[in-house]
Chains A and B, each alone.
Chain A
Amino acid sequence: MAQEERMTEENEKKMNEVTDQEKVEYSELVKEATPVHSLGIQMLRAFLTGGLICCAGQGILNCAESLGLEKDAAGTWCSVLLVLVSVLLTGFNVFPLIARWGGAGALVPITGFANSVAAPAIEYQKEGQVFGIGCKIFTIAGPVILYGTVASWLLGLVYWVLKVTGIV
């Protein structure tokens, strides 16, 4: 009797458990049922948005150079102005609309980076200057800064090795 009971218990347990096979089948079903954005349209939008931002950047650069600035200084002005515009658009809640339409076209240029720093600053300001803005301003941009720096070390090392061995 006791054994019988245990057997039915075990049977029931088996019935309640989701098998790996069921999980695989379900994930295939999910893949079928889940709509995705059209890659072609997304790429076209990103190309247009990113292209427009880069044209604006080139415009600033040409303008600064025609005003007699050195190439480096003109480049700095270009970055600073694009960041400023992006931060202002973030503050007025316009940037999310641009990014929603243009995707990576708006996010990959320096405008996306500026937005990813400005947005947490606005959101976490309510949690205080130190624990809010101070601790959380780089929650999105942090990984980019950290791994960007690490990547530049590695490339620096490669460059140094190539230089020592006389290749460059």
Chain B
Amino acid sequence: MNAETIIGKQSIRFREAPHIVSRASIVGKKEGEGPLGKLFDRIEEDPMAGQASWEEAESAFQKQAARLAMEKAGPGVPPVRYLFSGDLLGQLIATSFGVMDLKLPLFGLYGACSTIGEALMLAAMTVQGGYSDAVLALTSSHFGSAEKQFRFPLAYGGQRPLSSTWTVTGSGAFVLAHTGGKTRMTGATPGRVVDYGLKDSMNMGACMAPAACDTICAHLEDFDRKPSDYDYIITGDLGSVGQTLLLELAGKRGVELEGRHLDCGMLIFDPETQDTHAGGSGCACSAVTLAAYILPKLETGEWKRVLFVPTGALLSTVSYNEGQSVPGIAHAVVLEHC
């Protein structure tokens, strides 16, 4: 056992912390009109991205983001050897059809909306372990394909509950390598599946808040840190309902997150003008917010250290119809200015 690397119950400390050397974010029109609109690399006005279906459009987003991230890494970075990627669609079709042309060895991941956390920590482990000089972490989601798979056809008229979230259309990509860039990943806490028995798939923030709390508390304990050791603890897509619950749950465990917590889902949309209700969601929600908002703040040194905790709700239409609950998962990575 390597006591320097294996920390506490479930965490990892990276001795030679891999660097995030480049980042790319491509989003749809609605995200471009949101509060972070100006920060994204590219805004695709056409929700179909010139393709024939929502699924193909999502694949096109992934391909564009991956290419852009590798392009931005520049010639100083060794060529990307492996790719860690995933999405929300059945059998990961957005990923497999999106990255096909990149001709890179692929590890396909499913962590629902927490996928980018999983991809980043596996990429960092691969780099730190010496298995590759540069690795690409990638994910995507699309409002059209997600609605079609999990809820109703887009043209169906219905009312969304106020606790529901709006799936972000977009893709985020990150290249990790030994050196380069101004941010490094110094640690990670992979999350467990946490189930508090909730069955409301239209209130995913509430379903995921216990998982976020579990991972954050485990992380702080493993690293023997306090929330104040971070500029911010930033969850993926809990939304306003999930945030309230997370603060409450963490408070009960003696962890005060008030004032230290941000949520990508609450940053990406303006609920007043964009009719998104509790916030944004989807794999792309945390990924594009990381690429466009969080990493730049770390790169300039405005923030020194953040805990980035993408969250996922683990359900399918089958598990839901068969009466199963909606468990959650959250993966935490420590990102530091360097």
Contact = CB atoms under 8 A, between A and B. Distances in A.
B248 interface: yes
Contact of A123 (B155, B195, B206, B249): B155
Interface residues of B, number: 28
Contacts of A118: 155
Contacts of A36: 161-162
Interface stretch (A63-71, A72-80, A92-100, A153-161): A92-100
Contacts of A112: 157
Q: Main SS of chain B's interface residues?
A: loop
Given A26-B196, A34-B163, A35-B163, A119 B245 contact: no
A34 B239 CA distance: 11
Nearest to B278: A35
Interface residues of A, number: 34
Given A18-B194, A36-B162, A115 B241 contact: no
Given A26-B196, A26-B210, A126-B52, A120 B153 contact: yes
A138 interface: no
Contact of A119 (B155, B159, B197, B244): B155
B162 A37 contact: yes
B157 A96 contact: yes
A35 B198 contact: no
Given A34-B163, A99-B158, A107-B158, A122 B153 contact: yes
Q: Main SS of chain A's interface residues?
A: helix
Given A23-B197, A34-B163, A35-B162, A140 B241 contact: no
A3 interface: no
Nearest to A124: B153
B155 A93 contact: yes
Given A23-B196, A124-B153, A126-B52, A30 B159 contact: no
Contact of B148 (A99, A106, A107, A123): A123
Nearest to A96: B157
Nearest to B203: A34
18 contacts: A26-B210, A30-B206, A33-B241, A33-B244, A35-B163, A35-B241, A37-B159, A90-B155, A91-B155, A93-B155, A100-B157, A107-B158, A112-B157, A115-B157, A116-B156, A119-B157, A122-B153, A124-B153
